[in-house]
Structure 1
Amino acid sequence: MSIPPRIPVTVDQIQIVVAQFYARARADPVLGPVFAAHVMDWEQHEAKIVRFWRNALLLERCYDGNPMQVHAAAGDVRSDHFAVWLSLFDKALKQELPPALAQAWSVLAHRIGRGLSYGLPLSCGATAVPDLS
């Protein structure tokens, strides 16, 4: 018996959204330097994040990482970075997916982003990630 997906996207759609997001993130003045300091192999990193989203969206058991631990251990990831992350991610979703799928995935991404941002420090003078759900 197979479990129906949480959101009916395809693996190809996940790969395209992830690639579009990281193209934007690498060029972003806030996120780009953070990613550049930690990601040495972009192909491997994107493949891991595709597995994360396959797990979250399609309920496949192909990801075994701990995103909260990784972000906290990085040392330079701040809670307020997730607002930028979510904005760029939403742009990739809207560019690549039909509106209903983009919206459904965005809601889940915002929930995950809020969860990951808890417990991380804020950048000097920044505010917490807003609840947009």
Structure 2
Amino acid sequence: MTMTPRIPVTVEQIDRVVSKFYGRVRAHPALGLIFAAHVADWPAHEEKIGRFWRNALLLHHCYDGNPMQIHRTAGNVRAQHFSVWLSLFDSVLDEELPPPLATAWSSLAHRIGRGLSYGLPSDDGEDEVPRLGQA
């Protein structure tokens, strides 16, 4: 049974977006340092993230990681980093895809980014979302 993609992009489009995005991440003054502390093998990282997006967009069921755990345990990722991440990602989507596809993928990326940022501390050391039972 063939699944209808959530967003009808191609694997090639996903790979181009991921590659161009991570080129910008590596050059970014803040994000570049964060990623450099954790990514030693960029081709392997880009392939893994490509699988993440193929799973999310095309429903290929080819990614089995836990993004929340990875970002939370990194130690230097903060909730505020996601607005920068999303801005870079949106600019790549706008350059690489027709507007309807860029808009749809961006919307999904923003929902995912919000979810990930909720589990991370902010720059002031506080969690983005208060923990139940704490003042």
Same fold (TM over 0.5): yes
TM-score where L is the length of structure 1 = 0.92
Between the aligned residues of both structures, percent identity stands at: 69
The corresponding residue for 1:22 is: 22
TM-score where L is the length of structure 2 = 0.91
The corresponding residue for 1:82 is: 82
1:100 & 1:5 partners in 2: Cα distance?
A: 14
The corresponding residue for 1:72 is: 72
The corresponding residue for 1:9 is: 9
Aligned partner letter, 1:92: V
Aligned partner letter, 1:90: D
Equivalent residues in 2 for 1:39-50 (5 A)? 39-50=39-50
Q: Structure 2: give runs of 5+ residues left out of the alignment.
A: 129-135
2:124 & 2:24 partners in 1: Cα distance?
A: 24
The corresponding residue for 2:131 is: none
The corresponding residue for 2:106 is: 106
Aligned alpha-carbon RMSD (Å): 1.4
Q: Structure 1: give runs of 5+ residues left out of the alignment.
A: 129-133
Residues 86 and 110, structure 2, Cα contact 8 Å, conserved in 1: yes
Aligned partner letter, 1:64: D
The corresponding residue for 1:131 is: none
Residue 123 of structure 1 deviates from its aligned partner by 1.3
The corresponding residue for 2:38 is: 38
User: Deviations 1:3-42 (Å, cap 9, x if unpaired)?
Assistant: 1000000000000000111011111111010000000000
1:42 & 1:119 partners in 2: Cα distance?
A: 25
Aligned partner letter, 1:20: K
State which structure, 1 or 2, has the greater radius of gyration over its C-alpha atoms. Answer: 2
Does residue 91 of structure 1 match 2:81? no
Residue 85 of structure 1 deviates from its aligned partner by 0.3
Residue 60 of structure 1 deviates from its aligned partner by 0.5
Aligned length: 127
Task: Name segments (4+ residues, structure 1) moved above 4 Å.
Answer: none
Residue 116 of structure 1 deviates from its aligned partner by 0.5
